[in-house]
């Protein structure tokens, strides 16, 4: 697809790969899910802030209608497909025995409220808290960024947001102690990663200035960053440790920022060996949506059978298959539609300037 950056798709592939490993072998990859999700958040904060800054530079304001329309076109169709599958499986087979909570689960999934301290109705939507956290953040962040740019005080705004998130996170951790896993999906638990990614985009020139210039040195930095993320994925504890929220999450976001600045100029792959990771990154959103319910369904149906030993690999294969279908069936057409809408709006804007009276 045009407009995609190979290096950033590699990062997406790495992030979703870690999530798949965590769901497949949770005993081995204790913190891989956290590392993968935080990497996604940091990348999202970086990219979305770049879009908003470009809007502010071009128009002097954020086109909120266009911004939220494009996000809805990008995110909603694949989500609808997964929720439809959850409804179909639950109404017919109901492998999780949660049919009574289906309506509630669908409502929570559709309204992006899966990160609130409420009963979800179905464990098949447990993972949708990440979507809720992102969308709630982007309801507020464009306004704050506009204020920061107009007042020329981005540092103050970023620090204020960080301080507020740290305060809320600390209060929720103290309130939940000693069972801190309760706060795993709460809004403030991992939002610092979004802010760190956003800050990296705001001060991108400074970050670039800290990076080595030579290709060899940049490759070394990128290799160390990848090795760090992989090593952190083996840490036990994960969501059960307060340090995961206060230390591991922000640190992973910072390492991800380094990778973004090393890989963002990779318009093409440095080696064909990375093509599988690139392909996985391309379908990463759909893979994230499908993986958790597929793992739960397979576990419920085959968990006690002779095929149980193949469940981890079966879950990964089924996820990639479902995500690939979703990509071609839903995401590719929706992206084309979004580009047509953008082109139509740009044409109308130009025609409006040409035909408008002067004076």
pLDDT score for 23:
96
Whose structure tokens read 């800290």? 210
116: alpha, beta or left? (left if phi > 0; alpha if psi -120 to 50): beta
Q: Of 19-23, 58-62, 150-154, 211-215, which one has max mean pLDDT?
A: 19-23
Burial class (CB in 10 A: 0-12, 13-18, 19+), 94: middle
Judged by DSSP in three states, 106 sits in helix
Angle among Cα 29, 33, 36 to the nearest 5 degrees reads: 115
Question: Residue ranges of the domains in the chain?
Answer: 6-347
pLDDT score for 47:
97
Residue 308 in this model has a pLDDT that exceeds 80: no
Banded pLDDT at 348 (limits 50, 70, 90): low
Residues 146-192: tens digit of each pLDDT: 999 999 889 999 999 999 999 999 999 999 988 899 899 999 999 99
pLDDT score for 359:
36
Residues 181-213: tens digit of each pLDDT: 989 999 999 999 999 999 999 999 888 888 887
Spatial separation of the C-alpha atoms in residues 290 and 288, rounded to whole Å: 6
pTM over 0.85: yes
Banded pLDDT at 356 (limits 50, 70, 90): very low
Length of the chain: 359
């Amino acid at each position: 697809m045009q407009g995609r950056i190979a290096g950033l798709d590699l990062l997406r592939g790495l992030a979703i790969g870690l999530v798949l490993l965590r769901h497949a072998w949770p005993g081995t990859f204790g913190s891989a899910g956290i590392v993968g999700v935080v990497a996604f958040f940091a990348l999202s904060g970086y990219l979305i802030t770049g879009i908003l800054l470009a809007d502010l530079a071009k128009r002097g304001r954020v086109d909120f209608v266009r911004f939220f329309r494009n996000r809805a076109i990008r995110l909603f169709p694949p989500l609808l497909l997964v929720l439809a599958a959850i409804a179909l499986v639950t109404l017919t087979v109901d492998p999780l025995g949660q049919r009574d909570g289906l309506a509630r689960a669908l409502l929570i999934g559709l309204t992006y409220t899966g990160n609130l301290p409420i009963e979800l109705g179905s464990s098949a939507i447990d993972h949708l808290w990440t979507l809720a956290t992102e969308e709630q953040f982007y309801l507020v962040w464009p306004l704050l960024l506009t204020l920061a740019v107009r007042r020329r005080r981005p540092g103050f705004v970023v620090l204020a947001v960080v301080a507020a998130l740290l305060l809320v996170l600390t209060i929720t951790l103290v309130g939940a102690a000693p069972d801190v896993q309760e706060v795993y999906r709460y809004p403030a638990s991992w939002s610092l990663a979004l802010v760190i990614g956003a800050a990296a985009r705001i001060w991108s020139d400074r970050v670039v200035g800290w990076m080595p210039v030579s290709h060899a040195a940049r490759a070394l930095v990128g290799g160390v960053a990848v090795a760090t993320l992989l090593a952190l994925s083996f840490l036990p504890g994960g969501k059960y440790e307060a340090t995961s929220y206060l230390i591991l999450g922000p640190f992973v976001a910072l390492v991800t920022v380094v990778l973004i600045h090393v890989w963002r100029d990779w318009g093409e792959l440095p080696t064909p060996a990375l093509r599988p990771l690139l392909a996985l990154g391309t379908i990463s959103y759909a893979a994230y949506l499908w993986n958790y319910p597929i793992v739960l369904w397979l576990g419920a149906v085959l968990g006690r059978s002779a095929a149980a030993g193949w469940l981890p690999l079966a879950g990964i294969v089924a996820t990639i298959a479902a995500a690939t279908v979703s990509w071609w069936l839903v995401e590719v057409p929706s992206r084309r539609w979004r580009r047509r809408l953008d082109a139509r709006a740009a044409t109308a804007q130009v025609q409006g300037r040409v035909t408008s009276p002067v004076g």
